[in-house]
Amino acid sequence: MRTAGSADLGSYLRRRRAMMAPPAGADGSRHSRRRVPGLRRQELAEISSISVEYYTRLEQGRAPRPSRDVLAALARAFGLTAVERDHLFRLAGELPPSPSAPSDAVRPGLARLMENLASTVPMTVHDGRLDVVAVNAAAGEMFGSVIGDGHYGRNIVHRAFTSPAFTEVLDDDGMDHLLRVAAAELRAALARYPDDPYLLGVLQDLTGRSPGFRERWGHGEVGVWRSAFKRIRHPDRGWLDVDTEMLHDPERDHWVMLYTVRAGPLDDECVARRASENPPGHVASDRRLVRPDQAPPVMRVWTAATSSATRRGRGRLSHREPPSSQLGVDRSASTDASAVGR
C-alpha cells in the first residue's frame, strides 16, 4: 500500500489547519473556549468533502497516499496560494498541477524592469501559448512591426509560417532555425495545454494553409531553446550579431527574452591578446570584446500609443500592440525527437 510517505505532509496539514479561523457562532462571535487554535479535524474534513477518519490518518501519516483530487480539495479548503498548493502536492509525492492557461498580465516588477531598460536592452515577453504579451522600446526599435492583425496576429509560430515579416529581420540560416524551433515549441505548448482551443486552432490553421509547417511538424521535434545566437537586420545599423537568453516565469508561464548585441570585428590588438590568453588546444569563447567606439548608441523609444513614426520621447511599456518577439535558436541544443503527438 502506498502511504503518504512523509511525516512532513501530516505536519504541514496540522499547521495549516491551526492557521484557519474557527467558524462564527450564532451570535457572530468566534468560538473562544477552544483549547487549540484553528479548525477541528471534523470541520476541515467537512470543508474538504472527505471523511474525518481519512483526514485524521493523513495528519498522522498512516493513510494511503492521497489522490490528486483529494490534494486539490485540501488546497481549496486551506485557501492555499499557487506556491503553497504546489508544496502540498510535492509533500504528497505528486507533481504540482500545471496551470490551465498562461497569465495575460506581465508581472509588475518585470514591467518596470523592461521600461527602465527600454533604451538599452531589447526585451520581449511571450506566454505559454507563444503569444507576444509585452515588448520594450529597444526591442521595438530592433525588430520593427512584425505583429499582424487577426486572431493569431500575436502568435509567434503562426506569424513565422504565414508572414514575410521575419524574413526582413533574419538571414536565411536564422529563418530556417526559427521555423524549426517554432514547430518544436508549438508541440511543447500543446503538451502543456493539450485541450487549449486557441493552440488547437493555431495547429489546425497552420496545417491547412502552410506546406512548410506540415513538413516541419512531421519531423516530430519538441523542445524549448533557452540560449541562442542570431543575426538580425537593424533598420538603422544593418546586420547585428545578437545573443539571446530566455528566462521562464513558471507561475505565469511567461518567457522573457533578453537580447545582447555583440561588437563588430576585433582589432589586431584584441586578436593578439585573445591568442595569448588561449593557447593551442584551448576552446575559446565566441563572445567578442566591446570597443568603446563600437558601443551601441542609445536607441529610440517605441510606444504603442505613438501613431507617428517620427514621434519620439520617453517610451512606456505596452501590453497591447508590441511590434515583435522572436524565438531563440541554440545551434548546440538538441531537441527531443519523440513527438508529443497530435
Label residue 163 exposed, middle or buried (CB < 10 Å: 0-12, 13-18, 19+): middle
Eight-class DSSP state of 294: G
pLDDT at 200: 97
pLDDT at 47: 94
Distance between CA 105 and CA 327 in Å, rounded?
A: 20
User: Where do we find the cell 493513510?
Assistant: 63
What are 26's three cell numbers? 450564532
Phi, psi for 217 (deg, rounded to 5): -65, -35
The runs of H, that is alpha helices, within 210-337 are: 211-218, 268-277
DSSP-derived pairing of the beta strands 227-234 and 123-127: unpaired
Q: Taking Cα atoms as reference points, which of 320, 305, 181 lies closest to residue 246?
A: 181
| Average pLDDT per 10 consecutive residues for the chain, totaling 342 residues | 66 94 65 76 94 94 91 96 93 89 90 92 94 92 80 94 89 91 95 94 97 95 84 88 92 92 57 47 35 33 31 38 38 36 38
DSSP labels for 159-221? Answer: HHHH-SGGGGTB-HHHHHHHHHHHHHHHHHHHHHSTT-HHHHHHHHHHHHH-HHHHHHHHT--
User: Where do we find the cell 518577439?
Assistant: 325
Q: Which element (helix H / strand E) includes 76?
A: helix 68-78
Which SS3 state, helix, strand or coil, does residue 327 take? coil
What are 281's three cell numbers? 588546444
What are 205's three cell numbers? 490553421
pLDDT at 25: 60
pLDDT at 241: 92
Reading across the β-sheet that carries 123-127, which strands appear in turn?
132-135, 123-127, 254-261, 238-249, 227-234
Distance between CA 23 and CA 26 in Å, rounded?
A: 10
Instruction: Report whether 302 contacts 137 (CB < 8 A).
Output: yes
Q: Taking Cα atoms as reference points, which of 265, 251, 304 lies closest to residue 139?
A: 304
Q: Which element (helix H / strand E) includes 55?
A: helix 52-60
pLDDT at 333: 37
CA distances from 311 to 297, 302, 304, 307, 339 (A): 18, 9, 11, 8, 47
Burial readout 258-291 (b: 16 or more C-beta within 10 A, e: otherwise): bbebbbeebeeeeeeeeeeeeeeeeeeeeeeeee
Beta bridge partners of 218: none
